[in-house]
């Protein structure tokens, strides 16, 4: 199965809500970082891609109709080129609000993991494998090793600008979750559901899923 929808937005721009929305609209299943919790064997596969030791993303995404969020967004150019019929959705958010959300969630979890390793704490092997992959893709590859606010926001803005500049306008939807169904459904040429657009994975939701495990 070729991808029908590719999400090009960074995490903390409504990507989990978009995953659920796309699946409700018939673009299922949709890959998101949360999938790696159910498929831990994917951690090593993504890490190999991030280290340029493999380019076999098809093995990971086989059977998926859509892909959003990290780790997929780390290879968004490859996915867009390899799936020429796929629509591309760039989820965006006010940069300051995006950073505040990311700093309180995914970045905080990465720092907690780094601190645990620095202290020499015993770390669950599955968590270590997952966080090693996440840190390589997000911290090292996406943000060049720095989660400093000014730098991270500059990277966020540059990424969004590159997507806007390089994806043909007829394939691209620049979208905010708060917009709901209308523009999304029109872009994908599917009927608008009667149910509300999904609203999930707030900062509080994220913290409840990851209560500081070591």
* pTM recorded for the entire structure: 0.92
Domains of the chain: 5-209 (3.40.50.300)
Stretch 99-110: mean pLDDT = 93
What is the rounded CA–CA span in Å between residue 142 and residue 68?
Answer: 15
Q: Read off the tokens for 75.
A: 């290879």
- The residues near 95 (Cβ < 8 Å, ≥ 6 apart) are 153, 156, 157
State the average pLDDT over residues 108-135.
88
- Contact, 78 vs 16, CB < 8 A? no
Question: Hey, what are 99's tokens?
Answer: 């950073």
* Burial environment of residue 11 by CB neighbours within 10 A (0 to 12, 13 to 18, 19 or more): buried
Residue 174 bridge partners (DSSP):
90
Using DSSP's 3-state secondary structure scheme, residue 53 falls into coil
Question: What is the average pLDDT across 7-27?
Answer: 97
Between CA 162 and CA 142 the distance in angstroms is: 13
The confidence band for 100, taking pLDDT boundaries of 50, 70 and 90, is very high
Average pLDDT over all residues of the chain: 92
C-alpha–C-alpha distance, residues 139 and 136, integer Å: 6
Q: Is the pLDDT of residue 212 over 60?
A: no
206 pLDDT tier (thresholds 50, 70, 90): low
């Amino acid at each position: 199965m070729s991808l029908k929808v590719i999400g090009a937005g960074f995490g903390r721009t409504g990507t989990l809500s978009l995953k659920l929305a796309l699946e409700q609209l018939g673009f299922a299943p949709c890959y998101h970082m949360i999938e790696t919790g159910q498929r831990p064997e994917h951690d090593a596969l993504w890490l190999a891609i991030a280290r340029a030791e493999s380019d076999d993303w098809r093995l990971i995404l086989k059977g998926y109709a859509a892909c959003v969020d990290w780790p997929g967004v780390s290879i968004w150019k490859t996915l867009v080129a390899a799936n020429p019929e796929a629509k591309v959705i760039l989820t965006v958010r006010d940069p300051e609000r995006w950073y505040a959300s990311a700093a309180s969630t995914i970045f905080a979890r990465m720092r907690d993991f780094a601190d645990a390793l620095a202290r020499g704490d015993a770390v669950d092997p599955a968590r270590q494998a997952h966080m090693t992959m996440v840190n390589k893709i997000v911290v090292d590859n996406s943000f060049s090793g720095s989660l400093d606010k000014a730098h991270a926001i500059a990277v966020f803005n540059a990424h969004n600008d590159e997507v806007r500049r390089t994806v043909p306008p007829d394939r691209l939807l620049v979208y905010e979750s708060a917009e709901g169904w209308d523009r999304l459904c029109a872009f994908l040429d599917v009927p608008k559901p009667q149910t509300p657009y999904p609203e999930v994975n707030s900062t509080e939701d994220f913290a409840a899923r990851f209560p500081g495990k070591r």
